[in-house]
Structure 1
Amino acid sequence: MSGLSVDSTAREQAAALRAKEISARELTGLHLDRIAERNPELTAIVSLDPDRAMAGAAAADERLAAGAGIGPLHGLPFAFKDTHAAAGWRTTYGSPLYAEHVPDTDDLIVERIRLAGAVPIGKTNVPEFAAGSHTFNPVFGTTRNPHDPSRSAGGSSGGAACALAAGMVPLADGSDMGGSLRNPASFCGVVGLRPSWGRVPEWPSQNMWETTSTGGPMARTVGDLALLLSVLAGPDPRAPHALGDPGSVFAPPPVPVPLGGLRVALSTDLGGAFAVDPAVAAVVEAAGTALAGAGASVTAAAPDLSGADECFRTLRAWHFQARFGELLAAHPDGLKASLAANIRAGESLTGADVALAYRQRTALAQRMREYFTDHDVLVLPVSQVPPFPADQEFPTEIDGRPMESYLDWMRSAYLITVTGCPAISVPFGTTPDGLPVGIQIVTRHGGDRYLLEVAAAVEALAG
C-alpha cells in the first residue's frame, strides 16, 4: 500500500497485510524502528523482545502464504498491558515483587488477541498493580507523554496510550476501574473505551461477581477501536455475566450518526460534583458549541449521581483488600504508599458497607436508565486536569481546590464507572500550550455500538 507507515490506521495496515502489499516482517520491523526511536525517552513499551517479535511475524507471513485462515488482527504488532498475563512473556504488574514473573497461561483478553492473529512484541507500562492514573513504577520507571515528555501520559493504561500516540503499536488493550482506559486516552490524544460492564469478559477473575473493572480497547481512531472491540467482545462460558452479543457486531467501521437532532446533555462538573481545570472545561464547552452548530440539541443536564463517590470508594477498597491484602501482609513495605493505604481502607469495611455500595449501584443504574430516555448521550470531561508534570504522583489541587489523595482528581471518570454505562474518550481540543484534551461521551448500558457511531460523528466534527 503506497504511503503505508506506522502512523497509518490499524485497518489500513491490516488491509495491506491481507493484500500482501507489505509483509508482517516488514511491518513489525517498521514498528520496532519507531520503538527504538521513541521508547527510550517515553518508556511506553516494556519487556520488549524484538527477536521473538520477528519470529512471530515470520510465522504470520508463512500462514498467509499457505492460504491458512487468518484473523482480523493478522500480522499487526501488539504489546499487551503489563497487568494482563501473557503466557511465556514477562508480566510484572509494575511491581518489584513480580519483576521476573512469567505466567504459564493467557488472560482471556490476551488469548483473544492472539487468536485474532496479532504478533506479540512486548508489554505496555503500568503503575504498580494498575493503581492510579499516572504510569510509574519501580521496575521500569515513568511513562511520559509523547506530546510533551515532561508531562504524564496518564494511567493505568498509560504505556498503551503513549505507544499508540507515538506510532509504536497500531492498537492497544487496557483495563479500566477508575478511568484507566479513558484518562490516558485523553492525555495522549487517542481514543479509549470503557465498555458496558459484561461487554468484554474477564478470565481468570478473583471475583467474577465484581463489576467495577473491565478490559477494553484503545486506538488512534474510533474505527480502529471498533476493530479491536470486535476481537475483545463476546460471551465466554468462563464469564457467566458476559453480554451475549458476538464481537462481530463491532467489526464494520462505525457509521457516524447524524448530529441533527441528537439529544446531548452537557456538563463540565456534573453539577459541582468535582473541580475542573478551566482549560479542560473550555474544551468541553467548545464541544457543546460545535455540536449545537451541527444541529444537535445541547442542554445542561447533569444526571443524579448521588452516592456514586461513596459507592466507588467502598467497592474499590473492598476489591483491593480482597486481591492484595495477603500480599501486603507478607510484604508490608513492598507496595507504594497510596496503594497500601487503599488496601488497608478495605480492612475496616463491614458487610453492611458493601451491601450499601451495591444498593447505591443499583439505584445509580436505574437513574441512568431513566436519564437516557430523555437524552441520547452525556458529554463531560474525561479527566479534570490536562496532563500534569510527570514527576508528580497526582495533582494536589484543581482550580484552587485541594486534592487529598490519588483518587480525588479522577472523579469525572470513576463516577461514571459505577453507573455501568459505556464511556469513551475522544480527542477534541488542546490546552493553550498544546496538550491534548479529550471529551467523555456516555450512553445507556449496552449501547456500545451506538456510542461508537456517536463518537465517530464527534471525531469527524473535531477534525
Structure 2
Amino acid sequence: MTHIINLDATELSRLIHARKVSCVEVMSAYLAQIERHNGTVNALVSLRDEEILLREAAALDAELAAGIDRGWMHGFPQAPKDLGAVAGMASTKGSPIYRAHTPTADSIVYARMRAVGSIFVGRSNVPEFGLGAQTYNTVFGATRNALDPRLTSGGSSGGAAVAVALHMLPVADGSDQMGSLRIPAAYNNIFGLRPSYGRVPFGPAADCFSQQLSTEGPMARNIPDMLQLLAVQSGYDARAPLSIKEPLQATIDGLARDFRGCRIAWLGDYEGYLATEPGLMDHSRRALAGFTALGCEIEDVAIDFSMDDLWQAWLVLRSYGVAATYGALYENAQTRAQLKPEAIWEIERGLALTAMDVARASIARTRWCNALARLFEQYEYLVLPSTQVYAFDAETHWPRAIDGVEMDTYHRWMEVVVGPTMAGLPALSVPAGFNARGQAAGLQIIGRNHADFGVLQLGHAYDQATRQSLRSSPLHPSPVSVPDEFAVESATLTR
C-alpha cells in the first residue's frame, strides 16, 4: 500500500491500466494515507463513506476487465476544491451560509475529471469564498502546512496542496485568482500552475464575460503529472465563451527541451517596490542557479510601469468581482452576520465603485498587458518569487506587516502574484528550496500568453536540474538526493 501512494501519478495510471494494481487497492491505499495524516493537517473535508468509495472503485475495476477505459484518471481518488460545484456533494465554499448546499450538477472541470475515471473521496479545504491565501474557515477550521503543521498551508488551494504533498492524493485541482495555486504550492514544496486565462474553462457561471481574473488549474509533485491533469482540465466549452478553442498540443515526451541561450528576465521585488521577509529575496536569487545550470541567460529587468497603478487597478477589479458574486449575501442581514470581515470589506468596496472606476481599472490592466508584451519581445520567460513571506503561524489570519512595512489590506502581503493574474498569463510556481528553518520557497515562471506548455517545459528542466521537489515532509519521509549546489540552505526538515 505504501508503494502505491509513493508512485507518480503517471506511473500509477499506467499500472492501473495494465491491471498490475486494482482500483480497489489504490483506493484502499489512499484512504489509509488520508486516515494517517488528515487529522493532523485537516486538508480534506466532507469525506465520503469508505464502503461506498470501495464499491465505486470495484465498479471501475470491472469496467477495465470488460475493456472499458475511462481515461488517464481511471480509479484516481480525487477531492475537488470546495469552491466549485460537485453534484451530490457538499459545496460549502468554506462558509457557514453554504454548509448544507449540495449542487445537482458538476462544474465543467469536475465533470471532466469525473468522466475520465476520478472517484471523488471528499473536498479539499479552502478559506471562506477563497478570499485570502490562508486556508481557514468557521465550518472546518484551518488546514496546516505539510512540512510543518504549526504553519499555514497557504491558500486558497491550501487543502489541495497539502493533500498532494503528503501523498493523500496523486494530483489535485485548484483555482487561482490571487496566487491560490501558486502560494500553497510554494509553501508545501510542490508545483502549482495558473494556466493562461481560458485554458481551463471556468463555469458554468452567472457571468461569463466580466469575470476574467479567476481560473482553475492543476497541482502535482512533478511536471509530467501536472501536464496530464492539465490535459484533462483544458479544452473549449461553449458555456465558457472566452475559453481557448485551440487544443493543448503537448505530450510528456515533448517536455524535454534544450534551454541553452534562453533569455529570462528576473523581476525580483520590482526594484524594491515589494516588501519581503528578510532573507527571502537572497534565497530566491540563489535559487536561480537552477536556470543557469540549464544554460539560460538571466538578466535583472525593470518594468516600465507603475506597480502602484497596477495594485490600485487590482483593488478595483477584485472588489468589483467579489461584490458582484456575493453582494446579495451582504444585503441580507442574516447572511451578512456570517461573513468574515475581509469578505465584508471587499463587498463594501465593490458596492461603492462607479462604472468609471471599473473602466479606468480595465484600461490600466490593458496598459500592463502591453508593457509585458514589450518585455516578451526580448525575453522568453519572466521569473520572480512566488511569495513575499515564508509560511507563517497557522493561527495568524494574515501578516499585518512585512519587515516593518504595514500591510494596508488583508491581501497586500500577496501582491507579488498579481502581475500574471492581471495579464492572464501562464504562471507556474516551482519549488525553490528551503531556508535554515525548513520553510519552503517557490519561484514563479511566467510565459507568454497561451504558452502554457513552454512554461511547463522550463519548469520540468528546472526540476530535473535541482530536484528540489524530491524533498519530502517529515510527516511522510522518503530518501532523496538533492545536488549540493542547489541546497539553498542546510535545512534538515526535521522537528
The reply to whether TM is greater than 0.5 is yes
Give 1:393-408 correspondences, 5 Å limit.
393-408=397-412
Q: Letter of the aligned partner of 1:329 in structure 2?
A: E
Contact 1:153 1:188 in 2 (8 A): yes
> 1:3, CA displacement in angstroms?
7.8
Counterpart position of 1:7: 6
Q: Which region of structure 1 is more displaced relative to structure 2, 52-61 or 319-328?
A: 52-61
Q: Using the alignment, how far apart are the partners of 1:191 and 1:270 within structure 2?
A: 23
Q: Using the alignment, how far apart are the partners of 1:169 and 1:253 within structure 2?
A: 24
Match of 2:368 among 350, 353, 364: 364
Contact 1:230 1:251 in 2 (8 A): no
Structure 1 340/251 Cα, relative in aligned 2: closer, same or farther at 3 Å?
farther
Give 1:3-402 correspondences, 5 Å limit.
4-49=3-48, 50-209=50-209, 210-247=211-248, 249-252=249-252, 255-306=255-306, 307-330=309-332, 331-402=335-406
Aligned residues between the structures: 461
- Post-superposition Cα deviations, 1:314-335, rounded to whole Å, max 9, x if no partner, equal 1110001111011111122110
Contact 2:2 2:29 in 1 (8 A): no
Counterpart position of 2:440: 436
Match of 1:427 among 423, 428, 431: 431
- Post-superposition Cα deviations, 1:364-393, rounded to whole Å, max 9, x if no partner, equal 112211211101111101111111000000
Contact 1:284 1:379 in 2 (8 A): no
Counterpart position of 2:483: none
Q: Which region of structure 1 is more displaced relative to structure 2, 285-294 or 30-39?
A: 285-294
Q: Using the alignment, how far apart are the partners of 2:234 and 2:382 within structure 1?
A: 23
Q: Letter of the aligned partner of 2:229 in structure 1?
A: L
> 1:405, CA displacement in angstroms?
2.2
Q: Using the alignment, how far apart are the partners of 1:63 and 1:24 within structure 2?
A: 10
> 1:279, CA displacement in angstroms?
3.0
Q: Using the alignment, how far apart are the partners of 2:420 and 2:272 within structure 1?
A: 15
Q: Which region of structure 1 is more displaced relative to structure 2, 414-423 or 155-164?
A: 414-423
- Post-superposition Cα deviations, 1:195-215, rounded to whole Å, max 9, x if no partner, equal 011111112112211211111
- Post-superposition Cα deviations, 1:73-129, rounded to whole Å, max 9, x if no partner, equal 111111100001100011111001111211101011100100111111110000001
Q: Using the alignment, how far apart are the partners of 2:282 and 2:54 within structure 1?
A: 45
Contact 2:134 2:154 in 1 (8 A): yes
Name the SS for the 2:288 alignment partner.
Answer: helix
Contact 1:328 1:334 in 2 (8 A): no
| Structure 2: unaligned runs, 5 residues or longer | 468-495
Q: Using the alignment, how far apart are the partners of 2:344 and 2:254 within structure 1?
A: 42
- Post-superposition Cα deviations, 1:416-456, rounded to whole Å, max 9, x if no partner, equal 21011110000021121111111111011110011100110
> 1:132, CA displacement in angstroms?
0.5
User: TM-score w.r.t. structure 2 length?
Assistant: 0.91
Q: Which region of structure 1 is more displaced relative to structure 2, 235-244 or 38-47?
A: 235-244
Q: Which region of structure 1 is more displaced relative to structure 2, 330-339 or 40-49?
A: 330-339
Name the SS for the 2:245 alignment partner.
Answer: coil
Counterpart position of 2:488: none
Q: Letter of the aligned partner of 2:413 in structure 1?
A: W
Q: Using the alignment, how far apart are the partners of 1:10 and 1:279 within structure 2?
A: 34
- Post-superposition Cα deviations, 1:205-264, rounded to whole Å, max 9, x if no partner, equal 1221121111111111111110100001111111111111224x2343552332311101
Q: Letter of the aligned partner of 1:201 in structure 2?
A: P
Q: Letter of the aligned partner of 2:78 in structure 1?
A: F
**Identity score, percent:** 37
Structure 1 74/147 Cα, relative in aligned 2: closer, same or farther at 3 Å?
same
> 1:277, CA displacement in angstroms?
1.7
Contact 2:293 2:465 in 1 (8 A): no
- Post-superposition Cα deviations, 1:164-202, rounded to whole Å, max 9, x if no partner, equal 001100111111001101000001111000001111111
Structure 1 62/304 Cα, relative in aligned 2: closer, same or farther at 3 Å?
farther
Counterpart position of 2:486: none
Q: What is the root-mean-square deviation of aligned Cα atoms in Å?
A: 1.4
Which structure carries more strand by proportion? 1
Q: Letter of the aligned partner of 1:401 in structure 2?
A: V
Q: Letter of the aligned partner of 2:445 in structure 1?
A: I
Q: Letter of the aligned partner of 2:191 in structure 1?
A: V
